[in-house]
Structure 1
Amino acid sequence: MAMAANLTTVQPHHRFDEARLADYLAARLSNFKPPLTVQQFLGTSVNPAFMLHSPGRNFVLRKRAVPKKGSSLAESIERDFALITALHKAGLPVGTPHFACTDEQVIGTPFYLLDYIPGRHFRDPNLPGMDPKQRNAIYEAMAAALAQVHALDPALTGLPLNGGGKEYLARQIATLGEQFRANRTDEIGAMERLLEWLPANIPPQQASALMHGNFRLENLIFHPSEPRVIAILDWDLALIGHPFADLAINCMPYRVTIPGMGSLQGIDFIDSGIPGEPDYIAAYCRHSADPAIRENGIPHWNFYLAFALFRVAVMAQGILKRGQEKGPGNPAMKAYASVVRSVANQAWNMVDGGDD
């Protein structure tokens, strides 16, 4: 799939003065040459990205639509850029960072600039048009890239460590619980039991790592001809947390179908070549830098799956509540209501059993 298929004209609510940006880039980059043309990347990210075309050189501009909690837009952009810079320095596959701009006079909001990395970008996790061997190799490469992220020393990222692993899980479960209670629209027995069970059953094993937070096929750029990840995109949710939670979030297409996002449910894994969840987890373990994981796999995997499913249910509940506040009659809200209940039941079945 060509990268051009993932570009569109700049959407009206994201437009900015391209001539002013071109002047700014000419003053900041010695190798920048006009004219400048701008396109927007398609995607579900809240924070948009843009392709900047200039003669002989292309760049990616990222800005934020929403600041991180407790930060201004400028502080959020500076934090994002500092992380990308640290990851690039540490050898993770990200675009070469150039600068962060907090002067809102340039395009109306803070932004940062990276080199564009050409390659293959797959939006559909089913990988249509590939043969089974190619699909298997792509998933093997994705597992290897996630293991590479988790192998990085968290201290090199510059992100707050906040106790990492177990403390991340405890904080996340508490925060998600508060969000669900604030947005509750129906009584769902499985969610009520998860709210009690999850904080009381956090696995004892401590593991702390850089979490991408939204690691999925759509956020990866692959080599033009090889099954190898050459860029990891969309680090907006990155933090120091638990690697197995990150892996479980990565595995959600195996478990749920969310409106507007890809799913692997109903796939024939033998005929397609796409590894089933156990085989994908095994691939991650093979590539892990931790000998214990390579030898023994992942203990308490059902807990991490239940946590990730719980997270999906809470997010879907928030979308449902906001949709209902805008007024009745939106058919998409029925789909989200179904997601909340079915995913909550699936999460509870992971750890106990019984639907509601």
Structure 2
Amino acid sequence: MSTVDGLDLSALTRFFAEHVPDFRGELHAHLVQGGRSNLTYRLTDGHSSWALRRPPLGGLTPSAHDMVREFRVIHALAGSGVPVARAVALGDAHVMGVPFALAEYVDGVVIRTEEQLDAWPDQAIADCAHTLVDVLARLHAVEPAAVGLADLGRPEGYLARQVGRWYDQWQRVRTRHLPDIDALHEQLARACPPESGASIVHGDFRIDNAIFASDDLSQVRALVDWEMATLGDPLADLGLHLVYADPSFAPVLAGEAASTSPRLPTPADLAQRYATASGRSLDNLGYYIALGYFKIAVIAEGIHARHRQGLTVGSGFETVGDAPAPLAAAGLHALKRNA
């Protein structure tokens, strides 16, 4: 039985034997590259494969690493028209020290880097981006109560809570003083608009959190990384998705983020696509974009802090610390444009 950082395979084997009906024997696992927060592993017994998600080794932002929430959401969304992996089992901290979520392993293509994106022709890339936005609109059209998620969160006051929550996280993870973070927090709190509506929000919607069909980027086989899902303002999902197109985000993924590729449709094009697919007004979109910059700046700082402490697993973390300052500056600029 191989040893894998972050997993206790002996404990997991006992868990599988009790909770996974089609488990046939010895487990093998490897880390799936690409994650910068929660850790994702592919596990196999030689016959079947599963995806296991667990919190990072140094959980400095516990509210952003909720495995119970992730499992509950993908279980609830099965059959909703939103593509998700089949939920298999939820493990608590008694198994290997941290909670974890187990789902079926979905075969397909994950586009993480510009190099991977560049292997596809222009039309396939456009189809990929437009399909993602259509899936986002489909998620936002799901009635939470109809899938058992009416109590997933409190939509009222969502934006103000997001501003406060991510600033609180900043206080937890900060490794230096960045004046633009404080300024962005102050302006977001002061300019907070009424919510545009309420829906299930993914919380981290971007191209590399989707699994596409191997031969067709217009087909999303599963959305992944649901640990920040809640009920809230759907335009926060859209704003964050558009922020990921900014080259300022690239250092978070070692300068190779597929979402920053100039071959993707422009943020304006994607915003219009979402407006058409969802029927929602995009009033105050600049505020939601600024909130997205704020959130990603704080998340990047948290990753940077874990890397400084030697608590990251995998490679490509050396550049993450370069991202928070320009992301915060871009957030301030987005607010100015929205004024």
Relative contact order, CA 8 A, sep 6+: which one is greater?
A: 2
Aligned pair partner of 1:97 in 87, 93, 103: 87
Match of 1:207 in 2: 197
User: Residues 84 and 221 of structure 2 are in contact (CA less than 8 Å); yes or no, is this contact kept in structure 1?
Assistant: yes
Deviation, structure 1 residue 147 = 1.4
Match of 2:154 in 1: 163
Match of 1:341 in 2: 325
Match of 2:283 in 1: 299
Deviation, structure 1 residue 345 = 2.5
User: Residues 81 and 97 of structure 1 are in contact (CA less than 8 Å); yes or no, is this contact kept in structure 2?
Assistant: yes
The 1-side partners of 2:132 and 2:195 are apart by 25
Is 2:216 the partner of 1:232? no
Deviation, structure 1 residue 134 = 1.0
Alignment of 1:201-280 (within 5 A): 201-226=191-216, 227-255=218-246, 256-261=248-253, 262-263=256-257, 267-268=261-262, 272=263, 274-280=264-270
Deviation, structure 1 residue 112 = 3.2
The 2-side partners of 1:192 and 1:109 are apart by 33
* 3-state secondary structure, aligned to 1:85: helix
User: Residues 140 and 283 of structure 1 are in contact (CA less than 8 Å); yes or no, is this contact kept in structure 2?
Assistant: yes
The 1-side partners of 2:52 and 2:308 are apart by 34
| Identity level (%) | 23
Is 2:275 the partner of 1:285? yes
CA RMSD of aligned residues (A): 3.4
The 2-side partners of 1:169 and 1:31 are apart by 43
Aligned pair partner of 1:83 in 68, 73, 97: 73
Deviation, structure 1 residue 232 = 0.7
Tell me how many residue pairs correspond in the alignment: 322
Match of 1:5 in 2: none
Task: Give the TM-score of the pair, scaled to structure 1.
Answer: 0.76
The 1-side partners of 2:14 and 2:328 are apart by 52
Deviation, structure 1 residue 86 = 0.7
Aligned pair partner of 2:51 in 48, 60, 73: 60
Q: Deviations over 1:212-262 (max 9, x none)?
A: 111111111111222211101111111112111111111223222342424
* 3-state secondary structure, aligned to 2:109: coil
User: Residues 37 and 303 of structure 2 are in contact (CA less than 8 Å); yes or no, is this contact kept in structure 1?
Assistant: no
Deviation, structure 1 residue 10 = 7.3
* 3-state secondary structure, aligned to 2:251: coil
The 2-side partners of 1:146 and 1:248 are apart by 12
Q: Deviations over 1:196-217 (max 9, x none)?
A: 3222222235311111111111
List runs of 5+ in structure 2 lacking aligned partners. Answer: 311-316
**Of the two, which has the highest radius of gyration?**
1
The 1-side partners of 2:127 and 2:49 are apart by 28
* 3-state secondary structure, aligned to 1:259: helix
The 2-side partners of 1:325 and 1:135 are apart by 38
Match of 1:130 in 2: 120
Deviation, structure 1 residue 275 = 0.5
The 2-side partners of 1:196 and 1:141 are apart by 35
Aligned pair partner of 1:15 in 2, 7, 12: 7
Match of 2:31 in 1: 40
The 1-side partners of 2:297 and 2:336 are apart by 17
Alignment of 1:148-187 (within 5 A): 148-155=138-145, 156-158=147-149, 160=151, 162-164=153-155, 167-180=157-170, 183=174, 185-186=176-177
The 2-side partners of 1:214 and 1:276 are apart by 19
Deviation, structure 1 residue 70 = 7.6
The 2-side partners of 1:108 and 1:193 are apart by 38
The 2-side partners of 1:62 and 1:323 are apart by 19
The 2-side partners of 1:219 and 1:94 are apart by 11
Aligned pair partner of 1:351 in 328, 335, 338: 335
Task: Give the TM-score of the pair, scaled to structure 2.
Answer: 0.80
AA in 1 matched with 2:5 = H
The 2-side partners of 1:282 and 1:58 are apart by 39
Match of 2:100 in 1: 111
User: Residues 93 and 232 of structure 1 are in contact (CA less than 8 Å); yes or no, is this contact kept in structure 2?
Assistant: yes
AA in 1 matched with 2:113 = D
Deviation, structure 1 residue 334 = 8.7
